[in-house]
Amino acid sequence: MTVAYLGLGANLGDARQTLKDAVVCLAQQHTITVLAKSSLYRTAPIDAGGDDYFNCVVKVDTTLPVRHLLALCHKIEHQFGRERPFRNAPRTLDLDILLFGDQSIDEADLIVPHPRLVERAFVLVPLVEIDPTLVIPQRGRADALLPGVSDQRIEKVKGPCQCPMLNALTPAESTPGKGRCE
């Protein structure tokens, strides 16, 4: 079993609902246990055009080798209608492997930790939310990187939630009072 962190992003279609459905989809895989889910965040596009994104991060335990996990991510993206007309194009769903255990991988089609992870508030903020003491291999504490991305717009989405499963995965401090998916 390996603990991995996956980044989810979308800014096409009903992006907010897609992220919730994608987390459920991941949790339904017999090879994956979702250990934690960050809040849902609305974020400004970085190095990209189009509408605001919705982003979140999940922490999983998986029996899959990393390449099988990448293939599964691509399969789920496809199921959610992902198309790739050009680089950083608006997308119905993006699933990136941010961290895979303590492994460092640098191959043509797979780089872990994700190479742009440390430059992006839409990844760092949810990562630190679900794991405040997280250490990124070769980069140190994730929370120490937050000041470097403080100029990027990111806001936690609040709203009612009807989904007990997603609520159970969201950190307690971000779900005061009534349950919320986000």
- 77, 25 Cβ separation under 8 angstroms: no
The least distance separating ligand A4P from the CB of residue 26, rounded to whole angstroms, comes to 14
Q: Is 182 in the site for Mg ion (CB under 5 A)?
A: no
Q: Which of 48, 135, 146, 149 binds ligand A4P (CB under 6 A)?
A: 48
- Residue 155 per-residue DSSP state: E
Q: Is 22 in the site for Mg ion (CB under 5 A)?
A: no
Helix, strand, coil proportions of the chain in percent (round to 5)?
30, 25, 45
Contacting ligand A4P within 70-109 (CB under 6 A): 70, 84, 88, 94, 96-97, 109
Closer by beta carbon to Mg ion, 98 or else 154 = 98
Q: Extract the tokens encoding 84.
A: 């790739």
- 24, 166 Cβ separation under 8 angstroms: yes
Binding window for ligand A4P (CB under 6 A); candidates: 30-38, 45-53, 131-139, 170-178: 45-53
Contacting Mg ion within 128-147 (CB under 5 A): none
CA distance 20 to 39: 10
CA distance 33 to 80: 20
Contacting Mg ion within 76-95 (CB under 5 A): 94
> What residues make contact with ligand A4P under the rule CB under 6 A?
9, 43-48, 53, 55, 70, 84, 88, 94, 96-97, 109-112, 114, 116, 122
The contact set with Mg ion (CB under 5 A) reads 94, 96
